Amino acid sequence: MARESEMFGEALSRWRAKSGLSQEHLAHEARITTSYYGQLERGQKSPTLTVILKLCHAFDCSPGELLSDFTTAAVRRLFK
């Protein structure tokens, strides 16, 4: 697994916990499959831009908020 996928999955898990919603509900709101959502949260898959935007719609947040873990320093560490 790529480290960036794991980071995104951890962030997604935190957002879901904060929202109090199930994986199934969020997948439905984002119009993606529950299986794919689970793979994203476990860091097994990396989302496309379209999926990131769908997730932002489901969480009612901006892409910047959803991707806030990916600071300049974090990105530098990922690609050393």
What's the CATH number where 33 sits?
A: 1.10.260.40
**What is the identity of the amino acid at 67?**
L
Predicted pLDDT at 80: 87
Q: Would you say residue 77 has pLDDT above 70?
A: yes
Q: Would you say residue 78 has pLDDT above 80?
A: yes
Total domain count, the chain: 1
Structural domain harbouring 43 = 3-78
31: alpha, beta or left? (left if phi > 0; alpha if psi -120 to 50): left
Please state the pTM of the whole predicted model: 0.92
Q: Would you say residue 1 has pLDDT above 80?
A: no
pLDDT digits (tens, 9 = 90+) for 16-63: 999 999 999 999 999 999 999 999 999 999 999 999 999 999 999 999
Composition of the chain by helix, strand, coil, percent to 5: 70, 0, 30
